[in-house]
Each structure stands twice: as C-alpha cells, then as structure tokens.
A = this chain, B = another copy of it.
Amino acid sequence: MRAVRNAVEAVHMSYAAMPEVSPAVESLVRQVIAQVADKWTMLVLEVLEEHGTLRFSQVGRLVEGISQKMLTNTLREMERDGLVTRTVHPVIPPHVDYTLTELGRELSAAFCGVWLWAETYHGQVMAARAAFRERERA
C-alpha cells in the first residue's frame, strides 16, 4: 500500500509522515491480492481478456495445463469475486459462457505491468538462476 502511494505520489517523503491505511483495510487488500494473484486466475483473466466471451471448454483449451477441476474452481472464485459473469444456457448438452466484468477488465489491465515485466526480464531471471547455480556449486 505505502509502496503504491509512493509510486502514485512519486515522492521521496518520510514514511513516518505518510498517513497510515487502517489495518483492517490493509488486511482486506492483502487477502484480495493473495486470491487474485493466483496463477490460474491470472491465466484465465488473460485468455478472457484476449478472446472476449468463451465457453468453459474453450477456456480450458486456451489455458493449457489446467485440469477441469481447477478450471471449475477458478471460474467459480472469479464469479464470486465479481470478475466474470457466468451465463448458463439451459440446453442439453449444457452450454455455459464466461465474460469479464468491468472489474475483471480493470484487473487485467492492472496485471499488464507484470506481464510486461516478465516478457522484458525473463531472460535476466534465467541468467540470474544460472549464475546462482554456478555460485552454489562451490
């Protein structure tokens, strides 16, 4: 949080001088972040942002590596948190659509920075890992 304020206000002010966020809000935010920063959530968010409305199995194919169970769980949680809307067409065989809500699209945009970072620096991360392995072999 305070890190966020830093970036937003773009200043080097004394930390002690900054207004404190209430601990309750702080813990809520942490909780929300911990859930939302989940690996599958991020990936589902991305494919929905990319492709718009998708069916259950389409998401499953696009995310790749996710099991049906985790796909169900992830989509449920995202629906619960208001990130996606779930539309059931009561036909047989079943047909269910998922779409990002405005909240979901905002979150996806917020994650862009992280995706960019990963794209930009994953080479450096790999290099760091190689160097680390070298060092610890001694």
A37 within 8 Å of B by Cβ?
A: yes
Beta-carbon contact of B110 and A114 below 8 Å: yes
Q: How many copies does the complex hold?
A: 2
Q: How far is the CB of A103 from chain B (nearest CB, A)?
A: 6
Binding stretch for chain B, among A53-61, A91-99, A119-127: A119-127
Partner of A122, one of B2, B32, B108: B32
Q: Which residue of B lies closest to A81 (CB)?
A: B125
Beta-carbon contact of B109 and A121 below 8 Å: no
Contacts of A11 in B (CB 8 A): none
A interface, over-half SS: helix
List of 8 A-B pairs having minimum Cβ-Cβ separation, nearest first:
A82-B128, A110-B113, A110-B117, A4-B115, A7-B112, A34-B39, A80-B132, A29-B118
Q: Give me the interface of A with B, judged by CB distance under 8 Å.
A: 1-4, 6-8, 15, 21, 25, 28-30, 32-34, 36-39, 42-43, 46, 49-51, 79-82, 103, 106-119, 121-122, 124-129, 131-132
